[in-house]
Structure 1
Amino acid sequence: MSDVHITHIGGPTALIEVGEWRLLTDPTFDPPGRRYSFGLGTSSHKVAGPALALSDLPPIDAVLLSHDHHGDNLDDAGRALLPSAKVVITTVAGARRLGGRARGLKPWAATRLEAPGQPTLEITATPARHGPPLSRPLTGDVIGFALTWKGQQHGALWISGDTVLFDGVRQIADRFQVGTALIHLGGVRFPITGPIRYTMTAADAVELCGLLRPQLAIPVHYEGWDHFQQGRDSMERDFARAPEDVRSRIHWLPVGVTTAVTA
Structure 2
Amino acid sequence: MILTHIGGPTVLVEVDGWRLLTDPTFDPAGGRYAFAWRASTAKLTGPALAVDELPPIDAVLLSHDHHADNLDVAGRSLLASAGTVVTTVSGSRRLGGSAVGLAPGASTVLAGRGARPDLTVTATPARHGPPLSRPIAGDVIGFAVRVGPASAVALWITGDTVLYRPLREVAASLAVDVALVHVGGVRFGLTGPVRYTMTGRDAVSLIGTLRPRVAVPVHYEGWSHFADGPAGLDTALAAAPADVRQRVRRVELGVPTPID
Q: Does 1:60 align with 2:19?
A: no
How many residue pairs were aligned? 259
Deviating beyond 2 angstroms after TM superposition, the runs of 4 or more aligned structure 1 residues are 150-156
- Find the counterpart in structure 1 of residue 119 from structure 2: 121
2:251 to 253, 259, 263: 253
2:185 to 184, 187, 194: 187
State the distance in 2 between where 1:16 and 1:104 align.
Answer: 21
Once structures 1 and 2 are overlaid, which stretch shifts more, 185-194 or 108-117? 108-117
State the TM-score, normalizing by the size of structure 1: 0.95
Q: What value does the CA root-mean-square deviation take over the aligned residues?
A: 1.4
Candidates 140, 146, 152, aligned match of 1:148: 146
Shift of residue 261, structure 1, vs aligned partner: 1.4
Question: Which of the residues 79, 82, 98 maps onto 1:82?
Answer: 79
**In the TM superposition, what whole-angstrom CA distance separates every residue of 1:167-213 from its partner, at most 9, and x where no partner exists?**
11112134320111100000000000000000001110111111100
Asked if structure 2 preserves the Cα contact closer than 8 Å seen for 1:145 and 1:158, the reply is: yes
Q: Does 1:48 align with 2:45?
A: yes
Q: Which runs of 5+ in 2 are unaligned?
A: none
Which residue of structure 2 aligns with residue 196 of structure 1?
A: 194
Q: 1:251 to 1:154 in 2, by over 3 A?
A: farther
Identical residues among aligned pairs (%): 60
1:101, distance to aligned residue in structure 2 (A): 2.9
Deviation at 1:150, TM superposition (A): 3.6
Taking structure 2 as the reference length, what is the TM-score of the superposition?
0.96
Q: Deviations over 1:96-140 (max 9, x none)?
A: 110253000000100011122211111000000000001001100
**CA displacement, residues 54-102 of structure 1 (integer Å, 9 cap, x when unaligned):** 0110111111000000000000000111001111100000001102530
Q: Distance in 2 between matches of 1:152 and 1:251?
A: 24
- Structure 1: gaps of 5 or more residues: none
User: Contact (CA 8 Å) 1:6, 1:259: kept in 2 or not?
Assistant: yes
Whole-angstrom distance in 2 between the partners of 1:173 and 1:46: 31
Please report how far the alpha carbon of residue 18 of structure 1 lies from its aligned counterpart in structure 2 after TM superposition.
1.0
Map 1:203-242 → 2, pairs under 5 A: 203-242=201-240
The answer as to whether partners of 1:90 and 1:102 remain within 8 angstroms in 2 is: yes
Give the C-alpha shift of residue 141 in structure 1. Answer: 0.1
